[in-house]
Structure 1
């Protein structure tokens, strides 16, 4: 009899256990813990502190107003040194040990691509990866349903830049200096599309991530007779390329994909950077766009160092807005699935900075437009409307 009673008790416990829903990782009654992986000590370390600082400006603003459905947002940041393997290690720590709810704004194309298996295995969303690679919005790739992109892809940007150059310069000879990794691969995809549609041949010169000497690439552009050069770098690469070209007496018209859009490029490049045109996926941080105005107000209120303020810091801020909007739409009973469903209700949503953002179950690209920004008298000036 005792054995029978014991059996019923055990079965009862099993059924009670089955009836309980497992707690959502990173979510308590008062807090949402998210994970961010940056380059804090590698070739892009100048951005490593800036991006999460910008995000925390907006998270602080939201937290001080009571959080999202009563929960405060806490962001944990790890360092991957722009190394894909270290990015995977950092992600495993954040997901398995720290039990974060989602990953957010991880920097770098190759590091983000390396995370696909662990995202798919654990069902962890990655919101607003800090890369403009068009591969991030490819829903056919592993974990494609878990990644929400906010920026126009490098491939699309390259096509737009080539079209812009040829519009008024039909005989232009175009060259591209690109990073030899996943970032550059997406740029080359756009270059191939532009070559096919325009019936041209584009000169292509690669460089290794972290390179500081571009004399060879610039020399090859001179030999090839390139009149217009697109630099697919980040911050230091366009500065070095343009200064190297000036020192070699070479003066083509320079352009850049969106990672080169930071105002510090023109400041550091000096006269060599005058006229530089870059693609930009959002309104400028110092513009009259609603989010830019609020951003500057909060930076002043929170006494953010002026050296931090700029497009990359603003990038952190405006992508945080996207995540928060998804959390709001997910509702009080927050789960990863509800976050995904919430984000997929965004339809031409106005962030006050990005072009209108749209997500649905078949498309996580977010946006497909850029504006072009030119350095005039050392100051960045928007020279186009949104181009798609």
Structure 2
């Protein structure tokens, strides 16, 4: 009946009906802005420092959006990233996200980061109340990867259980079976230690030492000496980039002989910047997206082609950039599947229907009961020139 009225009513009636539909959807808080020429996507993260992970994520998202816009956008609509800087306190993520939602009315969110801030967002019901999907949160916390934690959260990375399992299997394979764990005294560090202890029985690795540090009170030399005295020949590091770099420098300076691998929370470029390429040489880092410098996977070659074409500046290709780029690819595909008149609910439904989506040599898969889109984990080693080697 509605289609019959539109056909018979002429252009004026059609315009009125479109305006009514758009207005009603906006009042429901789930539609795109009134102008279909633009789709706004929101990001809240620490990003004032150009070297920060938040800024890297932002750059990766923006570069991919620009590639899409050059080809006509999504169903004719241009993509725009509305980014907001936040401080380090988890509560700021809640306030800034609510501010962004009110001011920009985004169709989706992307590139958030941190276990604490994401927990704060979910506890405050920000995503539920806005009925908005968040793609590509930079956290591997297993509790946040559970499908029952939030129906609006879609991860593009493996969880910390996957990272820990990969590191333990690698240590077992090379015969480094006396493990120490260096971890920060936060929920993240405690989870990493618990995951190690849970995964050990499936390997021949034994936990011989565990050393913690307070984030604002790093005692790297003392911690390194404890690990060395334990006789450990492998060390798993669950720490920030700065803490991981300081520990590794002290460990090597003290004669530590073992393999040291940090979880993906540590950024290779930031660690090299902190202690220098020579001091960082040999440190392993778990990667949850392909290394942009690799020649083996299509995604890496795609990023390198962008650099050659001038779309990416030299030095911008890093793990944070790649993670933002992957999240943007996934969200854009969902926006395409959501159709020319997307709503927040349709975007979520499109994401749940995304199965075996190839983002360049590895796949992202979601469902109504799966929110960890990827289980990709690799280990790379910093070379003497500060580059990552597989």
Q: 1:192 aligns with which of 171, 194, 197?
A: 197
Which residue of structure 1 aligns with residue 141 of structure 2? Answer: 133
TM-score w.r.t. length of structure 1: 0.84
Shift in alpha-carbon separation, 1:344–1:18, aligned structure 2, 3 A: closer
Q: Distance in 1 between matches of 2:131 and 2:208?
A: 40
Q: Would the aligned equivalents of 1:257 and 1:278 in 2 still touch at CA under 8 Å?
A: yes
Worse-superposed segment, 77-86 or 271-280: 271-280
Mapping 1:73-112, distance limit 5 Å: 73-112=79-118
Q: Would the aligned equivalents of 1:177 and 1:204 in 2 still touch at CA under 8 Å?
A: yes
For the residue of structure 2 that corresponds to 1:366, the secondary structure is coil
Which residue of structure 2 aligns with residue 332 of structure 1? Answer: 340
Shift in alpha-carbon separation, 1:103–1:19, aligned structure 2, 3 A: closer
- Shift of residue 357 of structure 1? 1.3
Shift in alpha-carbon separation, 1:55–1:253, aligned structure 2, 3 A: same
- Shift of residue 41 of structure 1? 4.9
Shift in alpha-carbon separation, 1:19–1:160, aligned structure 2, 3 A: closer
Can you list the C-alpha shifts for 1:118-150, whole angstroms capped at 9, x where unaligned? 112221211110222233321122xx2100011
Which residue of structure 2 aligns with residue 9 of structure 1? Answer: none
Q: Would the aligned equivalents of 1:38 and 1:106 in 2 still touch at CA under 8 Å?
A: yes
Shift in alpha-carbon separation, 1:102–1:307, aligned structure 2, 3 A: same
The CA RMSD over aligned residues, in Å, is 2.6
Unaligned runs of 5+ in 1: 1-15, 383-388
Q: Distance in 1 between matches of 2:298 and 2:280?
A: 29
Q: 2:131 aligns with which of 116, 123, 132?
A: 123
Q: Would the aligned equivalents of 1:233 and 1:256 in 2 still touch at CA under 8 Å?
A: yes
Q: Would the aligned equivalents of 2:132 and 2:344 in 1 still touch at CA under 8 Å?
A: yes
Q: Distance in 2 between matches of 1:304 and 1:17?
A: 42
Q: Would the aligned equivalents of 2:248 and 2:283 in 1 still touch at CA under 8 Å?
A: no
Which residue of structure 2 aligns with residue 21 of structure 1? Answer: 24
Mapping 1:1-80, distance limit 5 Å: 21-23=24-26, 24-27=30-33, 28-41=35-48, 46-80=52-86
Worse-superposed segment, 204-213 or 366-375: 204-213
For the residue of structure 2 that corresponds to 1:361, the secondary structure is coil
Which residue of structure 2 aligns with residue 13 of structure 1? Answer: none
Shift in alpha-carbon separation, 1:31–1:344, aligned structure 2, 3 A: same
- Shift of residue 343 of structure 1? 1.3
- Shift of residue 270 of structure 1? 3.0
Q: Would the aligned equivalents of 1:50 and 1:308 in 2 still touch at CA under 8 Å?
A: yes
- Shift of residue 69 of structure 1? 0.9
TM-score w.r.t. length of structure 2: 0.84
Unaligned runs of 5+ in 2: 1-18
Which residue of structure 1 aligns with residue 182 of structure 2? Answer: 177
Q: Distance in 1 between matches of 2:337 and 2:140?
A: 25
Q: 1:370 aligns with which of 356, 372, 377?
A: 377
- Shift of residue 376 of structure 1? 4.5
Residue 328 of structure 2 corresponds to residue 320 of structure 1:
yes
Can you list the C-alpha shifts for 1:160-182, whole angstroms capped at 9, x where unaligned? 21122123326x32111123323
Q: Distance in 2 between matches of 1:125 and 1:333?
A: 16
For the residue of structure 2 that corresponds to 1:363, the secondary structure is coil
Can you list the C-alpha shifts for 1:307-336, whole angstroms capped at 9, x where unaligned? 322222222112211111111111112011
Which residue of structure 1 aligns with residue 303 of structure 2? Answer: 295
Q: Would the aligned equivalents of 1:261 and 1:279 in 2 still touch at CA under 8 Å?
A: no
Higher relative contact order (CA 8 A, sep 6+): 2
Worse-superposed segment, 314-323 or 292-301: 292-301
Worse-superposed segment, 300-309 or 115-124: 300-309
For the residue of structure 2 that corresponds to 1:68, the secondary structure is coil
Q: 2:290 aligns with which of 276, 283, 289?
A: 283
Can you list the C-alpha shifts for 1:15-60, whole angstroms capped at 9, x where unaligned? x989973223553311111111111358x96223222012111101
Which residue of structure 1 aligns with residue 365 of structure 2? Answer: 358
Q: Distance in 1 between matches of 2:44 and 2:187?
A: 18
Worse-superposed segment, 267-276 or 254-263: 267-276
Q: Would the aligned equivalents of 1:155 and 1:189 in 2 still touch at CA under 8 Å?
A: no
